[in-house]
Amino acid sequence: MIKLMIKDETAPLEAVVLGTAMSLGGTPDLAHVYDPKSREHIIDGTFPKEEDLIRENEAFKAVLEKHHVKVYRPETLADTNQVYARDIGMVIDETFIMPNIIEDREHEKDGIAYLIDQVSPEDILVMPEGAHAEGGDVMPWKGRLFVGYSEEEDYQAYKVSRTNRAGLEFLEQHFSNYEVIGFELKKSDTDAKANALHLDCCFQPIGRDQCIIYKGGFKNLSDYEWLVAEFGADNCIEITQDEMYHMNSNVFSISPEVIVSEAGFDRLNTELERRGFTVERVPYTEISKMEGLFRCSTLPLKRSY
């Protein structure tokens, strides 16, 4: 059986599901695109090629294994984009949550069915109909659950709204040992620079008491201000709109000391190293064209505590 334990974003990683770029299915048509950045690259003729995605994805796998992380992969589904494993499930404490996700991606769960079969049934929690959440919106952190979400008006209006109030309330109900804090995100189906697809597209805790944050990703200024006050201004690495667009907040923590980041994030990587982090630089620009990066590619199963 697979043992689960996730209480935060940065404790030393022992086991993770890393998405796969195998059998991507080619460039999708615009009718089947569910984020503005992919749409932009399809229109521009720059949507990534499968072989480039595989090369980047495997480079990330090599870094994880270098740090002695057990890496699981989804079973390959024909003609299916399975790069972003984060959203098809999530672990909080010893519980694996089977969420309701965007309909276009629901079948991706089939790729990790063999892993779910290795989890004790009493440790599996299935979201009820009407409650929606994706793993990119959910972050356990020091006794709290940070959750990016949309109120009903935005949830119904935007395809990029992935977590609703019912999903937020579901987490509150089942994880009463956590303080659940929701943050409304800015959404746009057509402009990637005006869209925070998930919470990890504009915010992520790093280390033991720091974070990366983009002010413009939050619908309510008060939410951004609360986070800055909570972490302390000196502990917040503020990123620009352009850096948000290139997914600078979507790094991945292997431990409190080690962060995987895109090789081209020069300003961010220099700042992380100045703050004492070891930065594993991995080329991931092609994967970023589909509006996700390192955190999006991973579904952590176990960290050490």
Cα separation values, 221 from 57, 175, 197, 228, 288, Å: 35, 27, 17, 11, 27
| In contact, 10 and 298? CB cutoff 8 Å | no
Distances (CA, A) of 54 to 19, 51, 124: 10, 5, 31
Give the pLDDT confidence of 118-155 residue by residue, as tens digits: 999 999 999 999 999 999 999 999 999 999 999 999 99
C-alpha to C-alpha distance for 69 and 71, rounded to whole angstroms: 6
Per the CB < 8 A criterion, the answer to whether 268 and 243 are in contact is yes
Chain-centre distance for alpha carbon 166: 20
Looking at residue 90, its pLDDT comes to 98
Residue 302 burial (CB < 10 Å; 0-12/13-18/19+)?
Answer: buried
Residues with Cβ within 8 Å of residue 214, at least 6 apart in sequence: 196, 201, 202, 203, 238, 239, 240, 241, 243, 244, 248, 249
Question: Which residue has tokens 């995987």?
Answer: 260
Separation in Å, CA 219 to CA 98, 181, 196: 27, 15, 9
Read off φ and ψ for residue 71, nearest 5 degrees: -110, 120
In a 3-state reduction of DSSP, which class is residue 292? coil
| Averaged pLDDT of the chain | 97
- pLDDT at residue 69 is higher than 90: yes
The pLDDT tens digits for 9-53 are 999 999 999 999 999 989 999 988 899 999 999 999 999 999 999
What is the percent of the chain with per-residue pLDDT over 90, rounded to a whole number? Answer: 97
Rounded-to-integer distance, Cα 288 and Cα 41, Å: 11
User: pLDDT per residue over 244-277, tens digit each?
Assistant: 999 999 999 999 999 999 999 999 999 999 999 9
Give pTM, 2 decimals. 0.97
pLDDT, tens digit, 9 for 90 and up, residues 146-200: 999 999 999 999 999 999 999 999 999 999 999 999 999 999 999 999 999 999 9
Report the alpha-carbon distance of residue 269 to residue 264 in Å, rounded. Answer: 8
pLDDT score of 201 = 98
Indicate the SS3 state at residue 66. Answer: helix
What is the identity of the amino acid at 240?
A: T
Residue 243 has pLDDT above 90, yes or no: yes
User: What pLDDT, on the 0 to 100 scale, is given for residue 241?
Assistant: 98
C-alpha span between 39 and 27 (Å, rounded):
10
pLDDT at 76 over 90: yes
Phi-psi region of 291 (alpha: psi -120 to 50; beta: other; left: phi over 0): left
